[in-house]
Amino acid sequence: MTQQKPVSIRFGTDGWRAVIADEYTYDNVRACAQGVASYLKATGEAGRGVIVGFDTRFSSDRFGAAVAQVIAANGIPVKIFSASAPTPACSFGVVRENAAAGVMITASHNPGEWNGFKVKSAAGGSAPPEMVEQIERRVEAVLAGEEKVQTGSGSYEKIDIVPLFVEQLKRVLDVSPIKRSGLKVVVDSMHGSGSGIIKQVLEDGNIEVIEIRGEVNPAFPGMTQPEPVEHNLQPLTQAVRDNGADVGIATDGDADRVGIVDETGRYQSTLEVFSLLGHHLLGRRKEKGGIACTITMSNMVDAVCREFGQPVFRTAVGFKFVGPAMTDNDCVMGGEESGGYAFRGHIPERDGALSGLLYLEAMVMAGKKPSALLADLHRLTGPHTFRRIDAQFDADKRAAISEALKSAEPSMLGGLGVQSTDRRDGVRFELEGGSWAVARLSGTEPLARIYAEAHTDTERDAILIDLQKVMGI
């Protein structure tokens, strides 16, 4: 008989994720739920209650029910989704109900065999590091047998969150001009929990919304994982071309990220889209306030903010850092390279549907197609091209690679001089002419993430090659 391996549950940049039936079991999910309940009781906030949400993944609704049962058995009021919904709907629910916290059952963009456990703060954003640390400690106590999971008969309520979330999006954004625009839009929900959201927001207008991959399928067929990046969006590209659409909008598995395809079927990178939306908010909408983003976000953001006299606030990778920076500095928006963007007036959390709607607003206000919006941005910032490499390595090499990362002090990368270094998360090198590079290690996998942005593909790729050599990969 094979002995079960010991489990150590660690929350990464946004929650705990694992393979279903391997480490992601009902017992371990209940341990996480008990950790949240114990934390809330220790802080005296338990009486405000918890919102529990779940996405379209295999058994997410059942895992969500297990969480609700444990938290309710601890004497804490609980409201759980009546049906699958996006992660930002859970965050919105926390704020709407004035709850102490939220739990979202989702593995976001991971492959279909995975699931996860995200914790949301009372502010509606990703749980901050100090909250995560205390919950982790209590989860470990459960796993070690030092604390018991409560299994009493506590009751909980169901909440129909989707209609409430749709109305919230309409409050945040005046969608009337978009509904009158006559645009033809293709929405790719990637079989995830964003299905129907944008269509409901824009219904009964002079706009055609065509949805593809809107049916629930937890296997996420045709893609390795439901992440709205170029190689996963060929169906969206084809649908835009076949229908003569003005734009394609994709949301990931739990609909907190966005991907954009222009009217020709060209994919716009996550850095282009974020910078373009910043240009829209500060330029056309004339909003005042800075932009918060991670160290892996484009330097186009800096150029946009300089143009409109607003600051940029850089953070380590993870929305648990971006959200607080956005709130503390009253920023108009916050975002990270993965395609998750948040906006002032909503919640300090990524929202793929709102990102897509704001992109439509930019098109309507400018009277331009996506390719022309990007051209406007590049006239201000100059051309930029970006690429990320996820380089795997043998686990026993982690210490050596980590040391190489800490001590790396190259004078040049890709033929460009290094002007400054930022080590708040891995290392970021600012290069001549506005180019940059970042190298950082995954906290959960033997994986090095290597990023570069430059003015040409040739420069960018040369930077990436040199940086891999510096790291010994």
150 and 51 together in one domain: yes
Q: What angle do CA 453, 454, 459 make, to 5 degrees?
A: 120
Q: Which residues lie below 8 Å from residue 187, measured CB to CB, with a gap of 6+?
A: 198, 199, 209, 210, 211, 212, 214, 248, 249, 250, 251, 356
Which residues on adjacent β-strands are paired with residue 69? none
Task: Tell me the HSE value of 411 on the side-chain side, using a 13 A CA sphere.
Answer: 0
Question: How many domains does one find in the chain?
Answer: 3
Residues 249, 119 within the same domain: no
Q: Is 246 in contact with 363 (CB distance < 8 Å)?
A: yes
| 170 occurs within a structural domain | no
Output the CA angle 210-212-216, nearest 5 degrees: 130
Q: Quick one: pLDDT at residue 391? A: 86
Q: Among residues 381, 411, 434, which one ends one of the domains? A: 381
Q: Which amino acid is at 377?
A: L
Beta strands in 245-384 (DSSP E): 247-251, 258-261, 267-268, 291-294, 312-315, 333-335, 341-343
Domain region containing 67: 16-161
Confidence (pLDDT) at 443: 65
Residue 86, domain CATH: 3.40.120.10
Strand, helix or coil for residue 191: coil
In a domain, 125, yes or no: yes
Residue 366's nearest CA partner among 196, 177, 189, 221 is: 177
Residues 313 and 433 in one domain: no
- Answer whether residue 399 is part of any domain: yes
| Secondary structure (3-state) at 463 | helix
The β-bridge partners of 419 are none
| 252 in the same domain as 277 | yes
Do 73 and 138 have their domain in common?
Answer: yes
Evaluate whether residue 1 is within a structural domain.
no
pLDDT in tens, the chain (473 residues): 344 556 789 887 789 999 999 999 999 999 999 999 999 999 999 999 999 999 999 999 999 999 999 999 999 999 999 999 999 999 999 999 999 999 999 999 899 999 999 999 999 999 999 999 999 999 999 999 999 999 888 889 999 999 999 999 999 999 999 999 999 999 999 999 999 999 999 999 999 999 999 999 999 999 989 999 999 999 999 999 999 999 999 999 999 999 999 999 999 999 999 999 999 999 999 999 999 999 999 999 999 999 999 999 999 998 989 999 999 999 999 999 999 999 999 999 999 999 999 999 999 999 999 999 999 999 999 999 999 998 888 888 888 888 988 899 999 999 999 999 999 999 999 999 999 999 998 766 678 899 999 999 999 999 999 999 988 88
**Among 116, 114, 137, residue whose Cα is nearest residue 54:** 116
Asked if residue 452 and residue 373 are part of one domain, the reply reads no
pTM: 0.94
Domain boundary among 339, 354, 381: 381
Q: Examine residue 406 and state whether it is found in any structural domain, yes or no.
A: yes
- The whole-angstrom separation of Cα 212 and Cα 208 is 13
Lookup result for tokens 């190489």: 404
Residues 6+ apart with CB under 8 A from 184: 207, 208, 210, 243, 244, 245, 246
Residue 201 lies in a domain: yes
Which residues partner with 342 through β-bridges?
A: 334
Q: Are residues 239 and 306 in the same domain?
A: yes
Mark whether 359 and 284 lie in a shared domain: yes
176 within domain boundaries: no
DSSP summary character for residue 20: B
Spatial neighbors of 259 by CB under 8 A, at least 6 apart, are 188, 228, 229, 230, 232, 233, 236, 249, 250, 251, 252, 267, 270, 273, 339
Shared domain for 130 and 205, answered yes or no, is no
pLDDT at 473: 81
| CATH of residue 400 | 3.30.310.50
Please indicate, yes or no, whether residues 208 and 336 belong to a single structural domain of this protein. Answer: yes
- The C-alpha atoms of residue 226 and residue 356 are separated, in whole angstroms, by 17
Are 212 and 351 part of one and the same domain?
yes
Q: What's the confidence (pLDDT) of residue 334?
A: 98
Unique residue bearing structure tokens 């694992």: 18
Residue 171 within a domain: no
Q: Are residues 356 and 296 in the same domain?
A: yes
